[in-house]
Structures are given as C-alpha cells and as structure tokens.
Amino acid sequence: MQVYLDNAATTRVDKRVIQAMKPYYSKLYANASSIHLLGQRNNLDLMEAKERISKIIGGEARSIYFTSSATESNNMIVKGVALANRGGKRNKIIISEMEHPCVRESAHSLKEEGFKIEYIKPNKKGIITKAELEKIIDDKTLLVSVMMVNNEIGTINNVKQLAKLAHDHGAYFHTDAVQAVPYLEIDIKKMGIDMLSLSAHKFNGPKGVGLAYIDSKIKIKPLIVGGGQEEGLRAGTYNLPGIIGMTKALELAYNERDEYIKRVKELRDYLWKEMNKEISDLKLNGDLAKRVPANLNVMFYSIEGEAILIDLSRQGVSVSTGSACSATDLKGSYVLKSIGLDKNYLNSNVRFSLGKYNTKEEIDYTIKCLKKTVKRLRAFSPIK
C-alpha cells in the first residue's frame, strides 16, 4: 500500500483542475499579453481569474500578482518593499522565528542593504503572540511578516491582531498564508492584511504557480523586470494554464471546505489517538487546538525522525521530518528549536500531514507500520 502523508510539502492535483487547465495548453495557448484577438481573449480570462480569487480571499482583484511560487511571492514582497523604501526613516524588518526559509533568507539578504532584522519568538505552543511583537516593534519598523500557519507544526497565528499592532506603529503587514488554505477563512480587508502569499500546489493545484497580494497603496521595487507584465511589478509571459488551475483549485478548496475539514480532522485525531495507544513516549509538538486539522508533528523519544522516515518509506508510507526544503539539511529544525524543544530531541520528530485523498484504511496501515518501525529502531537505540 502507498500512503502519502506529506501534503504540507505538496499535494496531488485534483482531476477537475487538470480539466480546467487543458484548453489553455491545446486551444487557448495565445500569449495573454498579445494584442490580437486570441491574446486579448486570454487576457480576459486572466483578469477574470483575479476577480474569482479576490471573491475568495477578499481585497481587490487588481492587487493580485501572479508568480511562479510562494518562494517568489515572499521574495518579491519582503525584498521589494524594503528596497522601495531603502534610505528612509524606517529601516527595521520584523519576522517571526518560525518563518519559512524563503522569508528568512529574503530578510537576511536585506542586512547588506542597511536594514535591521528582528525576530518575534513564538511561545512554547508554537504561537506568535501580540505581546512578543509589542516588545520589539517601534516607529522605525517598515514591515512585519508573520505566517498564518506554520508549515512544520501547523500552528495558527492570529494575524488580524498582529496586523493591527503593525498598523498602530505605521508598519506594513505581510502574511505567508501558504499553509492556511483551506483550513482558515482568508479575508484580506477584515484581517488588515497588506500583503499575502499563496502557492497553488499546496491546495491540489499545479506546481509552478503562486500569487502575491500587494495592496495598491504599497510601493515595491520589482525583482523580475522585462516585458512589463503585471503593471511592471513581475515580468514574464503569463503562465495561463497554471493561473487557471490555481484559480479552480482555490475555488474547489473553499467550496468543499466544510466537509473536507470535518473528514481530515477525524482522520488526524484518529491517527493521534491510535498512535498513543500503540506507541509509548511520544510528545506532540505545538498546540493541538490551535493548529490546522491536517497536521501532526510528533517527537519519538530516543530515535531519529530521519530513521523513522526512511523505514516508513520502505513500507510505502511517505512522511517528513519538517519542511521539504530541509531534506538535505540534517541540522535539526529551527522551528522546533524556537519553541524550546530540548536540543537532544531536535532530530527525533516526524511530521504527518494529511490531505484530501487520505482514507481510514491508509491511516490504519500507517499505524501498523509505525508501530513496527518504532519498536525496531528503539531496540537498537543506545538511549533507553
């Protein structure tokens, strides 16, 4: 049996999304920037895609910019805002300690440009609180960037509260909402979000397409220049099949959200309950209540998460030790370190991230395999 429990890394594309994309490869392939009728026809679909997306996430359609990924969106936003304001009185950028590497590295790169980077510490449950932001924010702060949902432990931050605090100090607020779809309702205006990033492949859409929402009052310096697409903020021929696929995937995700959330929560809770019944010495990383219903991040005392991953993988079960981007980096998770996990246990963790296509039979099989794996590995472990 093959069981895919790494849906926070990427997801299977919904068949209906593939169907929606197909015509844009075969018949409607004209460049959406071309002046001829075929191009202009496609441009209308592109504009309509922005309207359809803004109906779901709120905000204005014209503030949506299509990109190749959330990595690109986050670079575009964090660097773009900073570089457009270089030399001004606001030279401080605040990010949380739990941000994805693409936000962290974007912020780090700005040190050379004269910016000061400060970090908000999460609490032990993996939540970024207003109180911690309050300690470091001031009227020199240009930008606050805090993710809506953490990719490793699935914890949820109250971005509305954090955005309000950023605005009280005259700073902009950005949120990486990649892991929030469809678990949280996103309402850009109500939540006070100035900038936001999404990635289609995290919600059963295609790889290679994402979006950056950038409020029209905000100036950014474009990172990718060329043919002037997207009001000159992001050059490059539009990936129309991808954009249509992302739009369809987002609509499906939110239209079918209630039933999906109920189902995935039942499966996730069942996995956690059975795991505890069958295996001793486990600890859940991050808050159980304030986390998305598809995520479990578990510490297995005395054994390596990496060893568990490989052994499970041999049996057909795919899990992760954290973010996919750290597959070649065994230093231990900086996210788990930031929530105060003992350094001896930083490599003992496994992330199980469920998705739309998982079944109860798959969870039963996973538990059976996991029980064998942990027993076998613990028998060899020098730590008892």
Ligand X SMILES: Cc1ncc(COP(=O)(O)O)c(C=O)c1O
Based on the shown chain and the rule CB under 6 A, indicate whether residue 71 belongs to the binding site for ligand X.
Answer: yes
- Report DSSP state, residue 242: H
For tokens 């440009």, the residue is 113
Q: What is the largest CA-CA distance in the chain?
A: 72
Minimum distance from residue 199 beta carbon to ligand X (Å): 3
* Interface with ligand X, residue 327, by CB under 6 A: no
Q: Determine if 320 is a binding residue for ligand X (CB under 6 A).
A: no
| Cβ proximity of 229 and 237 under 8 Å | yes
Indicate if the alpha-carbon torsion angle 96, 100, 104, 106 is positive or negative. Answer: negative
Residue partners of 55: CB distance under 8 A and separation at least 6: none
Number of residues that bind ligand X (CB under 6 A): 14
Nearest CA among 148, 152, 200 for reference residue 323: 152
* Region 199-258 residues binding ligand X, contact defined as CB under 6 A: 199, 210
Stretch that binds ligand X, among 24-32, 69-77, 239-247, 300-308 (CB under 6 A): 69-77
- What tokens does 122 get? 């999460």
Nearer to ligand X, 199 or 347 (CB): 199
- How far out from the chain centre does Cα 111 lie? 24
Asked whether the beta carbons of 226 and 236 are under 8 A apart, the reply is yes
- In the stretch 76-115, what mask flags binding to ligand X with x, by CB under 6 A? ------------------------x-x-------------
Query: Cβ of residue 142: shortest distance to ligand X, in angstroms?
Result: 21
Show contacts with ligand X in window 145-164 (CB under 6 A): 147, 151
Q: Which two tokens stand for residue 337?
A: 């370190």
Among 229, 323, 349, 366, binds ligand X (CB under 6 A): 323
Binding status of residue 294 toward ligand X by CB under 6 A: no
Indicate which single residue of 20, 70, 246, 292 sits in contact with ligand X (rule: CB under 6 A).
70
Q: What are the Cα distances from residue 101, in Å, to 109, 111, 152, 211, 353?
A: 12, 16, 12, 18, 19
Element of type H or E holding 247? helix 240-255
CB-nearer residue toward ligand X: 85 or 179: 179
CB of 120 to ligand X, least distance (A): 16
Which residue from 199, 217, 186 is spatially nearest to 67, judged by alpha carbons?
Answer: 199
Q: Shortest distance, CB of residue 135 to ligand X, whole angstroms?
A: 24
- Asked if 176 interacts with ligand X (CB under 6 A), we say yes
Site string for ligand X, 10-49 (x = CB under 6 A): ----------------------------------------
List of residues contacting ligand X (CB under 6 A): 69-71, 100, 102, 147, 151, 176, 178-179, 199, 210, 323-324
